[in-house]
């Protein structure tokens, strides 16, 4: 019974449980029934290291991109704050001064047109006359229409183009570079007879000397500059202590006599620019039509659009400044009467 009891399962053990019995006998291994554990696979250290490098590179690139974008945002924010720092100190008269400066620059460029062969300067002109063959326009008022056929034969293959400015003439004999000077005789010596058989250089010189009058624009620029200096004397924002001892920003009214003088000067400047630009526009269109009709079938002409835009836009800016000064003076008068 003892043997039967020993062969049965112990309390707490499942039925059919058979405990391991170590092998007996000399030389038998102690763990013969233990299942051997598989060895771990050898890791490729080279590929793992390269993978880590790629991850680190991607992380550093992301960090660099984020840091550069954040620095860009910081710079933009600083510029925005720096700009808005000066906006409260930008007075009404400062805007008028900016408009006057723009008008002075445009009028100066208008006067400098065709005065030199520098880039863009020959493109600022009042009148352009050039050789171009086309079908002559017949008219019943023409006594001798065959004259234009002879004129075409006389012009030949000329390609010269002449542009007229306030203080100079630019000539392009053969479609190459421009020759600019205020002396038409010097330009005529640089051109052969075949290049200018109808004396377009002389015609351009006559237009410049007999019709163009630049001195009104010069006077207008001087008056506009004087008005600019007067506007610069207007008081701006500054800190001042009140009766309680605390500081506050105040801006006093400008002097009434100075404002009235500036208004009168800028008004005279506007009138001078109006007369000069109107004169320039009318004379250029008339000369262009006459020159092209006389050289019917041989000569073409045109008016400089850039010069016209500069002149009329300058007049518009000066008129805006005049109206702005007038509104400012009337507003100050109303506010002074209310105080």
pLDDT given at position 333: 85
Tens digits of per-residue pLDDT, 78-127? 545 554 454 455 778 889 999 999 999 999 999 998 988 888 899 999 99
pLDDT given at position 143: 84
Average pLDDT over residues 256-272: 93
Average pLDDT over residues 268-297: 93
Average pLDDT over residues 177-183: 90
* pLDDT at residue 155 is higher than 60: yes
* pLDDT at residue 244 is higher than 60: yes
Single out the residue of 253, 215, 248, 234 nearest to residue 97, CA to CA: 234
Helix, strand, coil tally for the chain in percent (to 5): 55, 10, 35
By the 8 A CB rule, do 203 and 185 touch?
no
By the 8 A CB rule, do 285 and 303 touch?
yes
Tens digits of per-residue pLDDT, 214-242? 999 999 999 999 999 998 887 765 556 66
Q: Which residue has the higher pLDDT, 273 or 68?
A: 273
Mark out the alpha helices in 40-145 (DSSP H runs): 45-86, 92-112
Residue 136 binned pLDDT confidence (cut-offs 50, 70, 90):
confident
pLDDT given at position 38: 47
Average pLDDT over residues 291-298: 88
Residue 326 binned pLDDT confidence (cut-offs 50, 70, 90):
very high
* pLDDT at residue 77 is higher than 90: no
Buried b (16+ CB within 10 A) or exposed e, 135-170: ebeeeeeeeeeeebeebbeebeebebbbbbbbebbb
Distance in angstroms (rounded) separating the CA atoms of residues 115 and 201: 15
Tens digits of per-residue pLDDT, 37-65? 444 444 444 554 455 455 555 545 544 44
> 99-113, 116-130, 186-200, 323-337 — which one is most confidently predicted on average?
99-113
Residue-averaged pLDDT of the chain? 78
Average pLDDT over residues 293-320: 93
Buried b (16+ CB within 10 A) or exposed e, 225-234: eebbebbeeb
DSSP element (H, E) containing 162: strand 161-164
pLDDT given at position 243: 64
Distance in angstroms (rounded) separating the CA atoms of residues 283 and 327: 35
């Amino acid at each position: 019974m003892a043997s039967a009891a020993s062969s049965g399962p112990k309390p707490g053990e499942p039925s059919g449980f058979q405990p391991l019995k170590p092998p007996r006998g000399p030389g038998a291994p102690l763990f013969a029934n233990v299942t051997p554990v598989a060895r771990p696979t050898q890791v490729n250290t080279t590929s793992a290291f390269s993978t880590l490098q790629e991850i680190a590179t991607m992380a550093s690139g992301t960090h660099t991109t984020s840091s550069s974008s954040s620095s860009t945002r910081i710079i933009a924010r600083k510029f925005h704050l720096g700009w808005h720092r000066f906006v409260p100190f930008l007075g009404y008269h400062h805007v008028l001064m900016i408009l006057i400066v723009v008008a002075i620059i445009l009028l100066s460029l208008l006067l400098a047109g065709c005065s030199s062969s520098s880039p863009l300067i020959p493109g600022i002109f009042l009148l352009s006359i050039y050789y171009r063959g086309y079908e002559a326009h017949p008219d019943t008022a023409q006594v001798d229409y065959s004259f234009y056929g002879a004129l075409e034969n006389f012009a030949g293959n000329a390609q010269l183009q002449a542009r007229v400015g306030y203080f100079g003439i630019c000539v392009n004999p053969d479609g190459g570079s421009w020759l600019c000077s205020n002396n038409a005789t010097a330009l005529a010596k640089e051109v052969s007879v075949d290049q200018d058989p109808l004396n377009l250089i002389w015609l351009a010189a006559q237009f410049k000397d007999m019709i163009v009058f630049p001195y009104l624009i010069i006077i207008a620029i001087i008056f506009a500059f004087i008005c600019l200096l007067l506007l610069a004397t207007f008081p701006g924002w500054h800190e001042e202590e009140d009766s309680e001892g605390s500081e506050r920003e105040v801006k006093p009214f400008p002097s009434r006599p100075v404002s009235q003088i500036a208004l009168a000067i800028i008004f005279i400047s506007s009138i001078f620019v109006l007369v000069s630009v109107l004169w320039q526009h009318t004379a250029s269109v008339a000369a262009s039509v006459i020159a092209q009709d006389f050289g019917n079938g041989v000569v073409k002409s045109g008016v400089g659009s850039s010069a016209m835009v500069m002149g009329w836009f300058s007049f518009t800016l000066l008129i805006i400044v005049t109206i702005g000064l007038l509104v400012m003076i009337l507003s100050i008068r109303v506010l002074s009467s209310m105080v």
